[in-house]
Amino acid sequence: QGNRGSSRGGGGRRPRVGYYGNRCRNVESIVASVVRAHVRSNPANAPGILRMHFHDCFVRGCDGSVLLAGDTSERTAVPNRSLRGFEAIEEAKARLEVACPRTVSCADILTLAAREAVVLTGGQGWRVPLGRLDGRISQASDVILPGPFDPVDKQKRDFAAKTLNTIDLVTLVGGHTIGTAGCGLVRGRFFNFNGTGQPDPSINPRFVPLVQNRCPLTGDASARVDLDDGSVGRFDTSFLRNVRSSRVVLQSDLVLWRDPETRAIIERLLGLRRPSLRFGTEFGKSMVKMSLIDVKTGSDGEIRRVCSRIN
Ligand code: HEM
Ligand SMILES: [Ca+2]
Ligand SMILES: [Ca+2]
């Protein structure tokens, strides 16, 4: 899909740590304090922002296209309707326009905010390369993202198409250690899997009644259920342990334990298989890779003044 060719569009330079330097000394602390305030007032903003960054990077690259408002913009596409945290990005932008006018892109703000969301929930931090420009195009019809019923092979292919390997896939899906999913997406498999009238047999039977209670068939489809049972607010390896014991709500997460390759990576991330991998470190590494997908650094981008519209 032309990832490679366009990644340095317009002849600009690639993002790097410390990019803003003296032009905006406090960029990181300003984003951090705004995100902190928004997560404090509503903890759902932390997972919301992390997911928003993923949805940005997988559609037209990490260019803030997901932030643009409009009748047919990406925000209106089904997977993006449940995104949360836009106000935090907009407020960080407003503060940065005062501190360093027309300097910091919304794409960079979203990338920094995603790291902050991880740190605020107890995860390990990492250094964020900066210098992305904001895109000018946002179309709902471009929003083609991995879905909750995708088999592992499809997940691998979708990530490979974005330069992310299978370790990146498993590690980044480990981001489901925080946040929730809408009951409408998950409950079918807990009551009537593929028309069998029974729950999906690969789900841990002791986990089934918990989700059935949380997401009754006749209940509100927009009620939400934890992606990481028992540790929804904490950025840790609990989610991967839940995948290992088949106690997860999304089918796309559950199947990661059935595929030998992704299973081995989960075991490595949990320290159960060698060479072991540290989830905290890997997550930062994979996030940096994801945050560099198709970035705009030349004439193909701009520094928006307001994140919800192009200049
Ligand atoms: C195969 C890849 C993936 C699939 C199929 C997938 C699917 C989903 C689905 C269906 C939801 C529930 C949405 C809702 O009902 O509102 C969700 C939530 C979430 N996803 Fe993913 N996801 C994937 C990868 C990722 C990645 C790479 C990240 C970030 C690194 C991520 C972070 C999150 C977070 C934090 C939430 C919770 C959102 C909230 O609580 O508002 N996901 N994901
Ligand atoms: Ca984008
Ligand atoms: Ca957790």
Q: What is the pLDDT of residues 124-165, one digit of tens each?
A: 999 999 999 999 999 999 999 999 999 999 999 999 999 999
Per-residue pLDDT, averaged over 261-285, amounts to 98
Number of folded domains that form the chain: 2
173 CA distance to ligand 3 middle (Å): 12
User: Domain for residue 241, yes or no?
Assistant: yes
Q: Which of 38, 50, 51 has most ligand 1 atoms within 8 Å of CB, for mutation?
A: 51
Residue 11's pLDDT band (boundaries 50, 70, 90)?
low
Q: What are the residue numbers of the active site?
A: 55
Position 53 in a domain: yes
Tell me the ligand closest to 121's alpha carbon. Answer: 3
Measured in angstroms, how far is the CA atom of residue 183 from the centroid of ligand 3?
A: 19
226 CA → ligand 2 middle, Å: 26
**Domain limit, last residue, from 145, 165, 194:** 145
Domain membership of residue 283 as a residue range: 152-287
Q: What is the pLDDT of residues 158-208, one digit of tens each?
A: 999 999 999 999 999 999 999 999 999 999 999 999 999 999 999 999 999
| Residue 81, in any domain of the structure | yes
ipTM of the complex: 0.99
Ligand 1 within 6 A of CB of 232? no
Same-domain pairing of 78 and 112: yes
Q: Judge if the beta carbon of residue 250 lies within 6 A of ligand 1.
A: yes
Q: Examine the domain organization and report whether 177 and 245 are in the same domain.
A: yes
Same domain, 157 and 232: yes
In a domain, 254, yes or no: yes
Which atom of ligand 1 is least distant from the CA of 250? 10
* Residue of the CA atom closest to atom 32 of ligand 1: 51
Would you place residue 3 in the very low, low, confident or very high pLDDT band (cuts 50, 70, 90)? very low
Same domain for 257 and 127:
no
Ligand 3 centre distance from Cα of residue 177 (Å): 4
Q: Tell me, rounded to whole angstroms, the distance of Cα 230 from its chain centroid.
A: 20
Phi, psi of 182 (to 5 degrees): -70, 135
- Specify if 292 maps to a domain: no
